[in-house]
Amino acid sequence: MAIRITRDGDDGIEELTVGNEIIGRISEEPIYVTKPNLPPLEKLYPSLVAIWNRKILTNGGPFHQEFEMKLAEFLRVKHVNLFANATLALIVGLEALRISGEVITTPYSFVATTHALQWNGITPVFCDIDPQTMNIDADKIEALITPRTTAIMPVHVYGHPCETKKIQSIADRYGLKVIYDAAHAFGVTMNDRNLLLEGDMSILSFHGTKLFTTFEGGAIVTKDSTLKKRIDFLKNFGFADEVTVVGPGINGKMNELQAAVGLLGLEIVGDEIVKRRSIAQTYRSCLDLVKGIATFEPPGDVSYNYSYFPILVDEEEFGVSRDEVYERLKECNVFARRYFYPLISNMPTYRGLPSASKENLPIANEIASRVLCLPIYGELELRDVRLICDCIRNIAAGRP
């Protein structure tokens, strides 16, 4: 019997029917994995007027200065260096700390983490991940240290904190720097420790897909004023003053428009996190009983930002592979994302590295083949979250 789609009034939901039986409900509008959280447009207008009147567009203008200060206050950190994007911030951060040789990092991240090493002429050394947190497995770092190792670059994947104490103690023992890719960790705090103050520096991303956005943007968080100054020089072509260039600088500056958006973003990010928390709770309550679907919850001492909602699909238990779930969700008008797949270590650019072998990275390879990030953003209605869960359950039940 044919599957029919019947419109269900004006509520934005369509019903899938076989004969008289409703077998599923889907959203009329496509649901993407995220939607940027933007301040009200009318609030931006006065900032635009100010920029047009001042004619100061970049180079550390008034909005840049104000945002740098307010962001540091908001995050309760000492120093913030704003950037045009996080990839430039990662590249400059490594140069600022004069990292060279080999750096131990995770293959389970967005590719920019490894690219930043490559752009600095550093050899990435991939370390396997912990299946509980999907972050670098701190117990496997030490075995990868060689005389050429100068630093560790972990990622707080999905904003879940790495084992920062363990990582620091290894770094201290071997005299290594620690650079955290904290692109997902905006606003995440641990009980008595500020996550962004762990290690030598942390890098944030404000890309449009991130929890907190300036369209494109990023920042380096540091505790050391000398380092902060060196980063300021490096992101501005290396200029220490009008005539002195002190390093191989680059143009990494955030512009005034981005900074103006960022200032307004600070007013709305708190609400966004609250809304996302209830979305995550709804997902968990409707998926936790589904066999073969695992969800994640950060430890109790972590105040989480709900930047992503990853699930792991166990093909044997669930009956359907991750890739099939991903494709079948599209039929429900739901566009999830396979973050992170493929693994960086399996990409043609990096798969030739000795540490990129599958034998070295069994857990990362396993997780990358099972993970799926479901839509999560403040405007996502709980009704739609339930539709997504229904769709997943129907896939498991083998319904069309």
Ligand X SMILES: *Cc1c(COP(=O)(O)O)cnc(C)c1O
Binding site for ligand X (CB under 6 A): 85-87, 109-110, 112-113, 155, 181, 183-184, 205, 207, 218
* Cβ neighbours for 302, distance < 8 A, ≥ 6 positions apart: 160, 161, 188, 189, 190, 191
Cα R_g (the chain), whole angstroms: 22
- Distance, in Å, from the CA atom of 190 to the CA atom of 195, rounded to the nearest integer, reads 6
Residue pointed to by tokens 């879940």 = 160
Minimum CB separation of residue 4 from ligand X in Å reads 41
Residue among 109 and 305 whose Cβ is closer to ligand X: 109
**Alpha-carbon 2 to chain mean position:** 42
Minimum CB separation of residue 280 from ligand X in Å reads 18
Minimum CB separation of residue 148 from ligand X in Å reads 24
Count Cβ atoms within 10 A of the Cβ of residue 87 and give its class: 0-12 exposed, 13-18 middle, 19 or more buried. buried
- Distance, in Å, from the CA atom of 91 to the CA atom of 103, rounded to the nearest integer, reads 13
Residue among 181 and 272 whose Cβ is closer to ligand X: 181
Residue among 207 and 235 whose Cβ is closer to ligand X: 207
Residue among 61 and 252 whose Cβ is closer to ligand X: 252
What's the order of all strands across the beta sheet hosting 79-83?
Answer: 79-83, 218-222, 201-205, 177-181, 149-153, 102-105, 123-126
Minimum CB separation of residue 184 from ligand X in Å reads 6
- Distance, in Å, from the CA atom of 186 to the CA atom of 171, rounded to the nearest integer, reads 24
Residue among 125 and 254 whose Cβ is closer to ligand X: 254
- Distance, in Å, from the CA atom of 269 to the CA atom of 289, rounded to the nearest integer, reads 31
Count Cβ atoms within 10 A of the Cβ of residue 59 and give its class: 0-12 exposed, 13-18 middle, 19 or more buried. exposed
With CA atoms as reference, report the closest residue to 320 among 375, 398, 389, 400. Answer: 398
Minimum CB separation of residue 147 from ligand X in Å reads 28
Minimum CB separation of residue 112 from ligand X in Å reads 4
Residue among 26 and 153 whose Cβ is closer to ligand X: 153
Minimum CB separation of residue 381 from ligand X in Å reads 26
Residue among 81 and 109 whose Cβ is closer to ligand X: 109
